[in-house]
Amino acid sequence: MKKIGIVMLILLFMAACGNRDEDVIEPVKTERELDQRATSVQFREIDVNLESEQFHIIGEVSSSGGLFYYHVELDGEIIQEETFEEVENSNSEWNRFQIVETLPNDVLEGNSPPVMVLYGKNESGEPINENYIPIDTQK
């Protein structure tokens, strides 16, 4: 009889622990979920400025999925991995964006200009509407 009372007490305690009325933490979106959002993307009014090792890209984007992707290439090799930016107000047709990145010194001193690639992704996760923007590192 005493064992039944202890088991009941443990079950009651476990049930009380499972019934919290706290906020539920949303899981981080998977890359697949993000890929499904970015089905169409367009860019306009792109401006590139280089200050020391940092470059600033400012422009406008129209994205049906509310985000876009970018990476930096040098001679066809990716030197800065893919990153995504969420569009602040995806209900608007065009939204301002700004990207600030730092380039390594060897890239700044090289002869070939690095290229920022802005794009969206289709449902299969493949890049679409790629825009190649050279970054002039020559002073």
Determine the pLDDT at residue 9: 65
∠ CA 51-57-58, nearest 5°, is 120
Determine the pLDDT at residue 15: 64
The predicted-structure confidence for 108-139, as pLDDT tens digits, reads as follows: 888 888 999 999 988 888 898 999 999 887 76
Q: Which residues of the chain have pLDDT under 70?
A: 1-3, 5, 7-9, 11-39, 89-92, 139
∠ CA 129-99-30, nearest 5°, is 65
- By percentage, how much of the chain surpasses pLDDT 70? 70
The alpha helices in 75-121, defined as continuous H runs, are 105-109
